[in-house]
Structure 1
Amino acid sequence: MDIIFFSIAALLMILGVMGSILPVVPGVPLSWCGLLVFHLAPSVPVNYWFLGISFFVAALIYILELVIPAMGTKRFGGSRAGVIGTTIGLIVGIFTPIPFAILIGPFVGAFIGEMINKSNSKSALRAAIGSFAGFLASTFMEFMAAFIFLILFLVKFWEYRQIIF
């Protein structure tokens, strides 16, 4: 039974790290669910403090992930159209076979969104840079949190490896 819980937890942790880069999958919440499933295994004692603190961190990171790109766009003079363009550009970038399209897509999307909303290309470029910077910052933050959760998972697994197997 423990092996099933460990396998599900490991799958959630891997999906969480992948999801921290892909915009469709909520990376940090999946990673936290992996930690939760691991602690639900019959032979692993539940550490409520560990789960509570990691849940708080996961919720905070998830909220910041949604707020930071918008803050970057607004900080550089962008609008809602720039944020929407960033999201569309990111989704298009994921499915485009061009190398680095996932990085270029949000910038181009924000620029196009701002050009539709504004007539001045200089302010649209500035907002696109802000949106792109916010996207990179939030993606990096989410990836680091999911990676730290993965390390915590591996440490906990190593600690209880004799009991699980």
Structure 2
Amino acid sequence: MVLEIVGWTLVIALFIIGMIGTVYPVLPSVVAIYFAFFVYGWFFTFDRYDVWFWIIQTLIVVVLVVADYLVGAYGTKKFGGSRLAIILSVVGLIVGPWVIPAFGLILGPLIGAVAAELIQGRDVNSALRVGWGTVLGLFASAVVKIILQLAMIGIWIFWITWIGIQ
């Protein structure tokens, strides 16, 4: 009974960490959710999983990782941003929450993209436009992550309650 409580607590905690990680990039969002599947297997059973479960979930992870980068970069590029703007916006995304705890998630990428464009000699209005595109890309990326991670959790619930017991 105690091990069951510990197992479910860990699975749920990993799901929560994963969902929080969609908006707080320092947390390993999709990795936490994927790891929760293993925790469930270790505490309860791996028998409910088959090869199709792992193929589907791994495919979603790959799509999520690729989409996360591409959607964010697309927002920067769509608004005229350079490769340096993409790189510095990612640096800002990682460093921002640590430097400016309350607003760093938004301001970090914005400042990174704007700084990159100013370094490359763009005017302030163009740089701010690229920064705005970066923030929009960040939000679009978060929405994609939330949808795909909820799909992963939903598929897992469906699998262990319906598919895995047949």
Does TM, scored on the shorter chain, surpass 0.5?
A: yes
**How many Å separate the matches in 2 of 1:36 and 1:51?**
11
Cα distance between partner residues in 1 of 2:18 and 2:94:
18
| Displacement of 1:83 | 1.6
Distance 2:8 2:159 in 1: 11
Kindly tell me the number of residue pairs found equivalent between the two proteins: 159
**Preserved CA contact (<8 Å) 2:89 2:112:** yes
Q: Equivalent residue of 1:136, what SS? A: helix
Q: Which residue of 1 aligns with 2:67?
A: 64
Q: CA deviation at 1:56?
A: 0.6
Find the aligned partners of 1:91 and 1:146 in 2 and give their Cα distance. 20
Q: Judging changes above 3 Å, is the alpha-carbon distance between structure 1 residues 128 and 79 closer, same or farther for their aligned structure 2 residues?
A: same
- Segments of structure 1 that go 5 or more residues without pairing to the other structure are none
Give the whole-Å Cα distance in 2 for the aligned partners of 1:144 and 1:92. 25
Q: Which runs of 5+ in 2 are unaligned?
A: none
- Report the Cα distance in structure 2 between the residues aligned to 1:110 and 1:43, rounded to whole angstroms: 45
Q: Report if aligned partners of 1:28, 1:145 keep a CA contact under 8 Å in 2.
A: no
**1:23 match:** 25
TM-score by length of 1: 0.77
Aligned to 2:138: 135
Alignment match, 1:9: 11
Query: Distance in 1 between the 2:121 and 2:137 partners?
Result: 20
Do 1:86 and 1:132's aligned partners in 2 also have CA atoms closer than 8 Å?
A: no
Pick one of 32, 35, 46 that aligns with 1:33: 35
Q: TM-score, normalised by structure 2?
A: 0.76
The percent of aligned pairs where both chains have the same amino acid is 28
Q: CA RMSD in A?
A: 2.8
